[in-house]
Chains A and B, each alone.
Chain A
Amino acid sequence: MSMKAILAAGLTFASLTAGAVQAEQVKIGIAAEPYPPFASLDSSGKWVGWEVDVIGAVCAAANLDCVLTPVAWDGIIPSLTGQQIDAIMASMSITEERLKTIDFSDPYYNTPAVVVADKSMDIAATPEGLAGKIIGIQASTIHQAYAQEYFKDSEIRVYQTQDEANQDLYAGRIDATQADSIAMADFVASDTGACCEIKGTVADDPEILGRGAGAGVRKGDDALREAINAGIAKILEDGTHAEITSRYFSASIY
């Protein structure tokens, strides 16, 4: 038996056990952690939220057979390059840094970054206003890159999920958090977020903060990128995007 034959046999075995489908199914990677109102798990084990609806609409418009595949956020790019998923649609901002590793579709939403802190705290969304304070941020996000670049006089604590940072803001372990404005608006409107308010928008830096959230695909996977682009264009044009947005938000976020 040649080496190749052995490998082939092993692979057939692996594919059998894996229940392999060498199919046209597109695995859309989403963050396995709740990120309301974009994507969160309800108690029946279903993913719901604005982004989940948009993924459904884009896939339908582009005629793709999509499956949602939850992946740990801080390993989501390795999962894409390691081929465990085919595309990332997890509110990932299109940044220069990420473009070195993966490709992006056109953006499908864009929101500014804000700083949230306890109502009683005297905090502004500037390096001076946050000096000496403890800021919690989610790992592997534009916010982490931004905070490390600009808030050098603050203590930065890195969380695996934004939800954990929110929880610690509520617990009082951190003074402030920087995150996406929509997600934060949702948080301060919740019971736990009642402690806190949005202190302001951080000064823009397109280099770090990117130009909106897009679908990440492997470098060179142009077919999928084009298909997703077409899907996004279509739902923007026929009003599906606006319709989904109106179900969750009062204003457009495109």
Chain B
Amino acid sequence: MSGLKSLMQPHRILLMALFGAFVLWCALSLRWDWIPKYAPLALEGLWTTIWILVVTTVLGFLLAIPLGLAQAIGPWYLSAPARLFCTVIRGTPLLLQIWLLYYGLGSLFPQFPWIRSSELWPYLRQAWPYAVLALTLSYAGYEGEVMRGAFSGVAKGQLEAAKSFGMPRFTMFRRIWLPQAIRNVLPTLGGETILQLKATPLVATITVVEIYAVSSRVRSDTFIVYEPLLLLAAAYMVIAGLIALAFKRFENQVPERR
């Protein structure tokens, strides 16, 4: 592999040595004795981060398809609300959206006592449904905009060819338009998913115990500030790297256009 050779240049070796020294210094002179005690909690948090990420990207993407479609070809009564939704989501901070959903909706519960006896109540009491909802809507908002471009980017001739063969509209959408649109967005999808990963710690502010919340817990229990944050940053970098790698693999399996 040529990658190995490029790593063996003298300045890279020096940089890696420096990095190794930094890691060694971190390992030796910082405090890590809290790790065994909090490891189970951290793993649980890691799991929460990952499932929230996966669920919200999948749901958000499914929601983005109709949003993109409505904006690309929908009649005005569909495209206008879709565009409004995307603008609002993209124009306001996610933290504000999360707080609006969680505390805003929460402040309504006492006014409607029947909610507490409904079957949904056990879920409404939890924090994660709000986190999932907020992150899904956010991803859908950003991705809806991307999908709009992707749908308009599919070559017209392909659609016309399908039409001239008498292909039904839905089959045309499923077999030609959607696959090509998805292939158009694939290169950006990995980046967008990493952005979504970076949005997940915000749900810690509404009591969801994901990995960021665990590091806050360590900080507040032990007053150790930097070490949990450094480890947290490293954990996010590993996850982001894995996402990038997975998407690259996925992309390579899809045949190149032309």
Contacts and interface: CB of A to CB of B under 8 A. Distances in A.
Consider the complex of A and B and state whether they touch directly, i.e. have CB atoms less than 8 Å apart: yes
Contacts of B124: 173
Interface in B42-74: none
A157 B209 CA distance: 9
Interface in A91-116: 97-98, 100-101
Interface string B181-222: 000000000000000000000000101010001001101110
Given A134-B125, A172-B125, A74 B109 contact: no
A168 B223 contact: no
B22 interface: no
B107 interface: yes
Interface string A187-199: 0000000010000
A144 B220 contact: yes
Contact of A139 (B116, B125, B127, B216): B216
Interface string B119-163: 000001111000000000000000000000000000000000000
Given A157-B207, A158-B207, A159-B207, A171 B221 contact: no
Interface size class of B (residues with CB under 8 A): 20 to 34
A100 B107 contact: no
Contact of B110 (A78, A139, A159, A170): A170
B205 A172 contact: no
Contacts of B126: 173
Nearest to B109: A171
Contact of A195 (B110, B125, B209): B110
Given A77-B223, A139-B220, A157 B106 contact: no
B103 A167 contact: yes
A82 B221 CA distance: 18
A172 B110 contact: yes
A140 interface: yes
B110 A171 contact: yes
A164 interface: yes
B13 interface: no
A160 B205 contact: yes
A176 to B, nearest CB: 13
B116 A74 contact: no
Contacts of B27: none
A145 interface: yes
Interface size class of A (residues with CB under 8 A): 20 to 34
Nearest to A168: B106
A91 B205 CA distance: 22
Contacts of B106: 167-168, 171, 173
A144 B126 CA distance: 19
Contact of A74 (B127, B207, B216): B216
A164 B127 CA distance: 13
Contacts of B225: 78, 81-82
Interface in A41-69: none
A173 B223 contact: no
B20 to A, nearest CB: 25
Contacts of A171: 106-107, 109-110
Contacts of A140: 219-220
Contacts of B207: 136, 157-159
B223 A101 contact: yes
Interface in A150-187: 157-160, 164, 167-168, 170-174
Contacts of A157: 127, 207
Contact of B220 (A74, A82, A168): A74
Nearest to A144: B220
B120 to A, nearest CB: 13
A97 B209 CA distance: 23
Given A158-B207, A158-B213, A195-B110, A164 B103 contact: yes
Interface in A208-236: none
A100 B224 CA distance: 11
Given A74-B219, A139-B216, A167-B107, 4 more contacts: A140-B220, A159-B207, A173-B109, A173-B127
27 contacts: A74-B219, A74-B220, A77-B223, A78-B219, A78-B223, A97-B223, A100-B223, A134-B125, A136-B207, A139-B217, A157-B127, A157-B207, A158-B209, A158-B213, A167-B103, A167-B106, A168-B106, A170-B107, A170-B110, A171-B106, A171-B109, A171-B110, A172-B110, A172-B125, A173-B125, A173-B126, A173-B127
Cβ-closest 5 pairs across A and B: A140-B220, A171-B106, A101-B223, A78-B225, A171-B109
Interface of B: 103, 106-107, 109-110, 116, 124-127, 205, 207, 209, 213, 216-217, 219-221, 223, 225
Interface of A: 74, 77-78, 81-82, 97-98, 100-101, 134, 136, 139-140, 144-145, 157-160, 164, 167-168, 170-174, 195
